[in-house]
Structure 1
Amino acid sequence: MQKLLKKYINLKRLSFLPSWSILFIDIFITTSVALFTFVTFRMIGVDFYDTYPASIRFSIFLGVVFFYFFLFKTYTGIIRYSSLKDATRLSKAIASAFITVVVIDTLHFITQDKHIFVLMTVFFYSIVILFALISFRIFIKTLFKYFAGNEEQPKSENLVIIGVNSTTIALAEAFVNDNTQYKLQFFIDKNKFLNDKKVLGIPVVAKTNSIIAILRYNKIKHVVLIKNFLPEKEELELLEDCLRYKINVYNPKLVSGFDTNVSTVKSLKKYTINELMFRDTISIENPSVISAFAAKTILVTGGAGSIGSEIVNQLAKFNPTRIVVLDQAETPLNSIQLTMSAAFPNVPCHYELVDVTNKGEVTQLFKKYQPNIVFHAAAYKHVPVLEDNFMQAVKVNIFGTKNILDAAIEANTQRFVFISTDKAVNPTNVMGASKRIAEIMVQSRFHTQKDATKMQIITTRFGNVLGSNGSVVNLFEEQIKKGGPITVTHPEINRFFMTIPEACKLVLEAGTMGAGGEIYIFDMGKPIFIKDLAEKMIRLSGKEPYDDIDIVYTGLRPGEKLYEEVLADSSKTLPTYHPKILIAQDPVFCYEKVEEFLFKLNNNTFENKAELIEAFIELVPEFILTPQE
């Protein structure tokens, strides 16, 4: 019989019961047990009140119990993974039902001078029903464990959880209950009082400060680490050590479904390069920032790009009147339209296929929508490409910005946020210089406006963004997939990095600050050597740098410098209320001079890049010629 059952019962193929079926089973058990108990009491001669017929009393009691099943969602758990949480929910439901019946009976006695229920029997009903429901879950759980225990077990891999708290205990429950490839060996904690204690029957090790030594001694290959459980320096060192010794590290905050205690283990995710940047999560909670975008028409240029699309995504959460997404790339524009339609179906979005260099189309678009706020993210940004196509940098980054700026002023736009780059500081390439000229142009234009119609013009300046289009991270990922080598231009080259959501949240925050004319710079943290970034990414992929995947140095590209700066050498900064946002005190140019420069730039035909650079230096004397020039 046992072999026959195992032959036809395959736990891997047996899907989970839907919530409605669990509720139906619970109702069936409750009704059957209550009816059986009632009949038993009748048989032993218990004298029930005849205030109402038995059917009505029975219906009242069951109706109250079922109500609390819904209220406490006792049916949402998965029976084979039932835990103390499920038993607690059932206990609360049954206890609440009993108290409610007592209240109903008491109120009826006060008003009608008659009892409905014999409360002793109701209490007994409740105890027996609770016992039956919990017993059913234990039976199913035991049944699954029995069949799972008799199946051929996959080879398990040792895993350790670092830190003991409610999140990791919930995760540990899943390891204990689920039949997975991992075998939870022990917890590691910093609290030495927990040493040799047990949680869910799992021992806690807290006898040494060297976590990596414990992991290596016990030959652990998988670790779950709570973000910020360790001080930042220790966390970084541990992650570096784990990468070096090929120990996979998982972040429990990335795991979905803790409450269900299922799919938790299966959906464990490794730390990514984003989590290894160690930057605090930024959230927008300032009411003035949120209200600044509510009930507004907002235009985002370059809205289908990596930065622009994230700005659109975040703005949609602030209840704007409408968002106008402008881009010249058809396929990305279609992609963001599909994404936004699915994610924010109630936010009115308009998608305009427009080139910012087409002044007529830009002007017409502003007349059509009359935006209150403009985020200008449209730009060409790839340094090597623009070194060869230098006139496109002039056309898009300078005059495209001018077209948007002029149209915004003419349309009485309230606020204009220009998104710049740290490459504009002491530029060494055409891209950086073109963005610095655009910065000078928008900042000087602010000061020429009349006070009555003054548009607030803000510039935000930050460094490289992880995962953006053309990001070195994306390039490295592709090279790792192909088996290498990874190409780095110079062993000493370093860059500042931010994640896309972090950068965009700071843009939105800075975009509501000040009265206009400011250049805001972001705290980019510490610069990261590109070589170190490449080595981390190789190790995250389970490979070893230089052995499995090589790193090749190709030499600096035209216009590329070893390090980026956020501030010019002569600049000073002022603090703002946000610790990650500062104001750069760059000199403000006279707009007449800027206008004269733009006129000459627009009317000259540059035969080569050297002529263009010579023209740029008139407005950007800090332009640094690299050896390739």
Structure 2
Amino acid sequence: MQLKKALLSTSRVTKKLLVLSSDFISICLAILLALVVSNVSLQSLNLEEYLRLAPMPLICIAAFWFFGVYSSVVRYIDLSVILVLVKAIVISFLLGLIGNLLYIYLLGYFIIITSDSLLSLEGWLVGFITFSFLIVSSRLTAHFYLSDRISEKRVVIYGAGSAGIQLASALRVSKEMQPIAFIDSNISLHGTYLGGIKVLHPKKLKRLSLSGKVDEVLIAIPSASRSILRDLLKEIQEYSVKVRILPGLAEIAQGKVLVSELKEVDITDLLGRYEVEANQGLIDKNIRDKTVLITGAGGSIGSEIARQVSKNNPKTLIILDANEFALYEIKNEIVSLQLNINLRTVIGSVTNKKRMKEVCKTFSVNTIYHAAAYKHVPLVEENPFEGVSNNIFGTKICLEAAIDSQVETFVLISTDKAVRPTNIMGATKRFSEMILQSYSDNNNENSETRMTMVRFGNVLGSSGSAIPLFQKQIKEGGPVTVTDPEVTRYFMSIPEAAELVIQAGALGEGGDVFVLDMGEPVKIVDLAKRLINLSGLDVKDENHPNGDIEIIFTGLRSGEKLYEELLIGDNVSKTEHNQILRAEEEFITKKEIGRLIIELEKAENNNDVDSLKEIFSRVINGYHSKEGIVDVISLNNLKTQ
């Protein structure tokens, strides 16, 4: 170990001299063996004959230097280096042969293949083979001794294109991973070698994985669509091998691929949907050269809408949130993009009527994306009146500020939990929708502001969602907690949801309820299993008692449903965007909404949860709540009495 450490710590020049000296000795040994095979003893050689042999080592060393043999690092040698080495050996042999031909022409004496030669033909061939063997084997021995192969992960690179080849090159200088094969669907590549690594058919991956020869699969197909990547991951997950992905084409375009660019499999990759190109006309309608206000701009959806709006040439972008740090983060992110836009940052609550009116009037806002809301079901169950205040009263305050300032478009971000809700949060969001519907009634006087609401399901990676929790639990060794084996949810990535919200807002005519096409609902337990498998681990259950990670079912939380819905009724029509549907739903009058708001305010003032639930049961289609919902403050007061 000390010798190894000493060799690795020497200077590059010293290492070159050591390799050169080893080659010189190998050449001399090969010549000696050639003489022995030719029945020539060293004692019988005179000075002239020694001098005739002396150029051979020098010719070989010169040829090696010319071909860059001494520029390669022995520790990272591969087949391509070996091929260069063999080429140099053959060239040096030919140079030696040519040199001897010149010698016989000039001096009339030839040391090979003549009756007066020092070396017989057999001796020369044995010497050549010995020389080749010593040169190659010495490098391979040094390579395996110095390269720490035992600690390297054996990886398969899925994708033998330019990205895969660049990744393999990057791995050669890394002590962490050893690429053992390429996997590619291109039949013409099967069986060939790229940089010394064999290209195999995708079907061979299963055998490699199950044999235990693969520690990790690295996907290097940056041009693959989300749907292709999803299908690929679905296939690989069966092998319980860890998977990482090389993201994007940016580094490829710059001609560099770094091992550090590899990322863990994201749940977005697992649920990748067919990508639909955005309708730029719809995006521009409410953004280009407009003053845009985003409430809740520090949240998951609000911040993504802010990112997308900032890239589509608004006249002014106003980001508003009550969370100072979240607002600071998204502001810095947008500023770092250097988009040369007029950005205004406002700390404020949507429940502050004076503040919201000031913002709308001062900046002459054209478009509002109202994303501010409390969304975590269990927390709102424990704090129902905070949910009512923020989600219902806050929406009403923002909407009235928009109407007073003649804002052109008001878009409410809603949720699938608003459909036949079983919890306070869902009920507050449905009531918020009803406020917009009533204010948009053609019989009302409000015609300057177009009001639209967009309803969709869970977004991947949002704060407090289950998926990041699963990933954290897997890293910690489990168990992974799922509420119920039958629970299902709709999923969509945050960028896709934000993009569709912007486009849906442009389709609104007044009082429209738009529903985003979320695809098929997904079983949460299946997602958990896939995440475990793609982390290179096995699920531990009664059929696999020796697995790595156990899944525990904790039971549905208060207000939680087994499945979510997106539509209250069946009256749905298509729009010009095939992922956005328009729902025709019943609504109540603005006058009735006003009376209900007064009732809600009274219930809030009295901290009367029973009255709150009664109001929701009376006016919200399908609402039913479980017993036992008590404001956490009231509950604590009861316990202390």
Alignment of 1:4-43 (within 5 A): 7-9=9-11
Partner Cα distance (2:315, 2:161) in 1: 43
Q: Which secondary structure state, in structure 2, belongs to the residue aligned with residue 159 of structure 1?
A: strand
1:168 paired with 2:164, answer yes
Structure-2 residue corresponding to 1:551 = 551
Alignment of 1:297-376 (within 5 A): 297-344=291-338, 346-376=340-370
Tell me if structure 1 keeps the 8 A contact 2:243–2:535.
Answer: no
Q: Which secondary structure state, in structure 2, belongs to the residue aligned with residue 293 of structure 1?
A: coil
TM-score in terms of structure 1 length: 0.72
Shift of 1:226: 5.6
Q: 1:578 to 1:234 in 2, by over 3 A?
A: closer
Q: Unpaired runs of 5+ in structure 2?
A: 14-62, 78-141, 541-546, 630-641
Q: 1:139 to 1:306 in 2, by over 3 A?
A: farther
Alignment of 1:411-426 (within 5 A): 411-426=405-420
Structure-2 residue corresponding to 1:617 = 617
Shift of 1:395: 1.0
Partner Cα distance (2:446, 2:483) in 1: 51
Shift of 1:548: 3.7
- Once the two structures are superposed, what CA deviation does each residue of 1:582-620 show, in whole Å capped at 9, x if it has no partner? 111222333222222223323344554332111112221
Shift of 1:294: 1.4
Tell me if structure 2 keeps the 8 A contact 1:300–1:377.
Answer: yes
Structure-2 residue corresponding to 1:58 = none
Q: 1:238 to 1:217 in 2, by over 3 A?
A: farther
Partner Cα distance (1:390, 1:354) in 2: 21
Opposite residue 599 of structure 2, the aligned amino acid is K
Q: Which secondary structure state, in structure 1, belongs to the residue aligned with residue 525 of structure 2?
A: helix
Structure-1 residue corresponding to 2:73 = 145
Tell me if structure 1 keeps the 8 A contact 2:324–2:347.
Answer: yes
Shift of 1:475: 2.7
Structure-1 residue corresponding to 2:35 = none
Give the ranges of 4+ consecutive aligned residues of structure 1 lying more than 6 Å apart after TM superposition.
Answer: 3-6, 137-141, 228-235, 449-452
Q: 1:381 to 1:452 in 2, by over 3 A?
A: closer
Alignment of 1:173-322 (within 5 A): 173-175=169-171, 178-206=173-201, 209=203, 211-217=205-211, 219-225=213-219, 239-240=233-234, 242-254=236-248, 257-259=251-253, 262-281=256-275, 284-290=278-284, 292-322=286-316
TM-score in terms of structure 2 length: 0.70
Structure-2 residue corresponding to 1:77 = none
Q: 1:194 to 1:338 in 2, by over 3 A?
A: closer
Tell me if structure 1 keeps the 8 A contact 2:279–2:503.
Answer: no
Opposite residue 588 of structure 1, the aligned amino acid is F
Shift of 1:522: 1.1
Shift of 1:425: 0.5
Q: 1:174 to 1:259 in 2, by over 3 A?
A: farther
Shift of 1:263: 4.5
- Aligned-pair identity in percent equals 35
Shift of 1:494: 1.5
The structure with the largest alpha-carbon Rg is 2
1:157 paired with 2:142, answer no
Q: Unpaired runs of 5+ in structure 1?
A: 12-134
Q: Which secondary structure state, in structure 2, belongs to the residue aligned with residue 351 of structure 1?
A: strand
Alignment of 1:74-89 (within 5 A): none
Structure-2 residue corresponding to 1:564 = 564
Partner Cα distance (1:560, 1:194) in 2: 52
Q: 1:574 to 1:323 in 2, by over 3 A?
A: same
Which of 486, 491, 507 does residue 513 from structure 1 map onto? 507
Partner Cα distance (1:196, 1:280) in 2: 33
Shift of 1:218: 7.4
Q: Which secondary structure state, in structure 1, belongs to the residue aligned with residue 414 of structure 2?
A: strand
Tell me if structure 1 keeps the 8 A contact 2:295–2:370.
Answer: yes
Alignment of 1:340-489 (within 5 A): 340-344=334-338, 346-448=340-442, 453-489=447-483
Partner Cα distance (1:234, 1:285) in 2: 23
Shift of 1:349: 1.5
Tell me if structure 2 keeps the 8 A contact 1:171–1:261.
Answer: no
Partner Cα distance (1:525, 1:138) in 2: 62
Alignment of 1:86-105 (within 5 A): none
Tell me if structure 1 keeps the 8 A contact 2:163–2:221.
Answer: no
Tell me if structure 2 keeps the 8 A contact 1:606–1:612.
Answer: no
Higher relative contact order (CA 8 A, sep 6+): 2
Q: Which secondary structure state, in structure 2, belongs to the residue aligned with residue 224 of structure 1?
A: strand
Shift of 1:562: 0.7
